[in-house]
Amino acid sequence: MHCSVSGEVPEEPVVSKKSGLLYEKRLIERHISEYGKLETGKIVKPRTVQTASIPGMLGMFQNEWDGLMLSNFALEQQLHTARQELSHALYQHDAACRVIARLKKERDEARSLLTQAERQIPMFASEAVIANSSVLSNGKRAAEDDDMAQPGKRVRPGISASIITELTDCNAALSQQRKKRQIPPTLAPIDALERYTQLSSHPLHRTSKPGILSIDIQYSKDIIATGGVDATAVIFDRPSGQIVSALSGHSKRVTSVKFVAEGEFFLTGSADKTVRVWQGSEDGNYDCRHILKDHTAEVQAVTVHATNNFFVTASLDNTWCFYDLSSGLCLTQVADTSKTDGYTSAAFHPDGLILGTGTSEAVVKIWDVKSQANVAKFEGHVGPVTAISFSENGYFLATAAHDSVKLWDLRKLKNFRTLNLYDSDTPTNSVGFDHSGSYIGISGSDIRVYQVGSVKADWNCIKTLPDLSGTGRATCVKFGPESNYIAVGSMDHNLRIFGPTLGKKLHWNHNATF
């Protein structure tokens, strides 16, 4: 029995009738005399014997201190063990990351080898690849039979899933880069193009069979290729003004020439129904690596995919072929069974998943490369579609035919402007955007340069250059690097270069602002 106030055994105990608690009489009387009443709260626990004296309290503190030290020692031991376990776990994690990285590298190498093997191993077409791989030096035959007989029906391996993945990845990368694309500050300004005049003329082809039908430029080296009626392709070094190589081997006119942007490959298409893949060497010579005989009529166009690993050819046999560049293997040959008209032009969209073709019946067809499906048709031209060109921004398509040049909005799939440049007897032979997408060149009875506008804004003619060949037929036009010159081919044997005089060129590079 303990007092509810002091917690000690009372000497004179009293009990509250109301609460039933026990109190020391003197303490409860004193509390009532000072405060008037006693509010009942928690019962005070009785003091232990140890807390009743100073030695007892010191002993209790010592015991609590000892317990605290033992607990702290145990915690330190646990912390040390946890640190060891964490260190071991981090070491295992680092080792696992290294193993994963090595496995990923081996996986990527295996995928690369698999893709390469899929390209290089023809399915049911080994004889064709062997026939196509005869090596020629500058067009001189080594040991091959130039049999131009109609090729037999071949089984095509098709565009594999790995190639489709490669095309899709290239499309995604180029689309992302295009969002950040800016017009280069070194691009020739409009006032400079207005002063362009002929700088030089180079007789590259035979006078007995005059005519340049196709032009392409390798921007990294500033070399120009031309394809002529004389069945030769000429590689010309513009800065030095010298012919690098003259490639013979085709038996009829060369209708299309194309450089591969990366590497030393060069492609030619001809009216002899063949396509040749040439490879350059350090001494400037070009060796023919493949002769492709998959078409049964004139090859009218060659276009290279943005990956620089594939290319497409279009022919008057109403088919287009998708090739692997390294092996020269035709992966697929697509025929449009709905029409019998042949293809007269072809070009890849800058992102590489769309192919545009023009037909001899004035129809422009848009193809999905992955599925080889015809996804759109543009009609309205008169006569064969002689040229197709996609703008660098990927929004516009320019097509040339006998009647005019038409500009198409690929976002809405409609024609938004028609440029009627010549009379009804003068065909439009060529159309092409420059590499920046700022200018467009057109050739017919003369050469005209337009500033690229928009769907609503005008496309203004900047400069009209005369056809100095005297034939009245400028067949092809191509802008040089940064549009600092324009290369023009006509139905004579000369390549003509238009640009500013040296003094004017230095003046604009030094003072012009963009």
Q: What is the pLDDT of residues 175-194, one digit of tens each?
A: 888 777 788 888 999 999 99
Q: Can you tell me the mean pLDDT for 487-499?
A: 93
* Pairwise CA distance, residues 350 & 178, whole Å: 10
Query: Around Cβ 317, how many Cβ atoms within 10 Å?
Result: 19
The confidence band for 144, taking pLDDT boundaries of 50, 70 and 90, is very low
Give the whole-number percent of the chain exceeding pLDDT 70. 87
**Rounded (to 5) percent helix, strand, coil in the chain:** 25, 35, 40
pLDDT(341) > 80: no
Place of tokens 């998959």: 294
Closest CA to 197 of 504, 473, 506: 504
Q: What is the pLDDT of residue 282?
A: 79
Cβ distance 216 to 259 under 8 Å?
A: yes
Question: Mean pLDDT in the chain?
Answer: 85
- Contact of 499 with 201, CB cutoff 8 Å: no
pLDDT surpasses 90 at 96? yes
Written as six digits, the tokens of 305 are 């995919």
Neighbours of 499 (CB within 10 A): 22
Q: Is the pLDDT of residue 81 over 90?
A: yes
pLDDT at 506 over 80: no
105-114, 235-244, 354-363, 369-378: which range is least confident on average?
A: 105-114
In the predicted model, is pLDDT for residue 510 greater than 70?
no
**Local structure of 128: helix, strand or coil:** helix
Q: Is the pLDDT of residue 511 over 60?
A: no
Would you state the structure tokens that stand for residue 394, as one six-digit string? Answer: 């990927």
Residue with tokens 């969002």: 179
Cα separation of the two ends of the chain: 103
Confidence of residue 339 (pLDDT cuts 50, 70, 90): low
Contact 254, 233 (CB under 8 A): yes
* Helix ranges (DSSP H) in 147-261: 161-179, 190-193
For residues 215 and 235, give the distance between their C-alpha atoms in angstroms, rounded to a whole number: 10
Contacts made by residues 140-145, CB under 8 angstroms, sequence distance 24+ = 140/248, 141/249, 144/291
Of 77-81, 111-115, 237-241, the poorest mean pLDDT is in: 111-115
Quote the percentage of the chain above a pLDDT of 90: 55
Averaged pLDDT for residues 483-512: 75
Highest mean pLDDT among 41-50, 56-65, 88-97, 146-155: 88-97
Contact partners, residue 185, CB within 8 Å, separation at least 6: 514
Average pLDDT over residues 336-355: 86
Identify the DSSP state of 481. G
pLDDT of the residue at 49: 59
User: What pLDDT score was predicted for residue 46?
Assistant: 59
The conformation of residue 371, written as its DSSP 8-state character, comes to T
- Answer with the residue of higher pLDDT: 42 or 316: 316
Look at 285 and 223; give whichever has higher pLDDT. 223
pLDDT in tens, 416-473: 999 988 888 888 999 999 988 899 999 999 999 999 988 888 899 999 999 888 888 8
253 to 195, 231, 256, 342: CA distances (angstroms): 34, 4, 9, 18
Q: Where is 373: in which H helix or E strand?
A: strand 373-378
Quote the pLDDT of residue 340.
66
- In one-letter notation, the amino acid at residue 462 is I
Q: What is the pTM of this model?
A: 0.69
Tell me the CA distances in angstroms from 159 to 79, 329, 369, one per residue in order: 61, 11, 9
- Per DSSP, the three-state class of 283 is coil
- Average pLDDT of 254-271? 92
List beta partners, residue 494: 203
Residue 226, H or E segment: strand 223-228
At 314, the pLDDT band (50, 70, 90 cuts) reads very high
Three-class DSSP labels, 326-361 = CCCCEEEEEECCCCCCCEEEEEECCCCCEEEEEECC
A 10 A CB-CB count for 266 gives: 25
**296 versus 133: which is more confidently predicted?**
296
Which residue from 374, 363, 373, 367 is spatially nearest to 406, judged by alpha carbons? 363
Pick the closest to residue 495 from 204, 143, 264 (CA basis): 204
pLDDT confidence of residue 230: 93
The answer to whether 279 and 289 are in contact (CB under 8 A) is: yes
At 56 the pLDDT is: 79
Residues 364-408: pLDDT tens digits? 999 999 999 999 999 989 989 999 999 988 889 999 998 889 999
Q: Which two tokens stand for residue 306?
A: 């943005």
Beta bridge partners of 102: none
Closest by Cα among 370, 365, 251, 254 to 319: 365
With a cut of 50, say whether residue 110 has pLDDT above it. yes
In 3D space, the residue among 263, 268, 266 whose CA is nearest the CA of residue 278 turns out to be 266
Q: Which of 437, 444, 432 is nearest to 486 (CA)?
A: 432
Choose between 284 and 21: higher pLDDT.
21
Query: How high is the pLDDT of residue 43?
Result: 59
Q: Tens of pLDDT along 209-221?
A: 889 999 999 998 8
For residue 246, what are its two tokens?
């003259």
Question: In Å, how far are 212, 393, 490, 504 from 354, measured between CA atoms?
Answer: 28, 14, 30, 40
- C-alpha span between 358 and 337 (Å, rounded): 16
Q: For 46-53, what is the mean pLDDT?
A: 64
11 DSSP 8-state letter:
S
Residues in the chain, overall count: 514
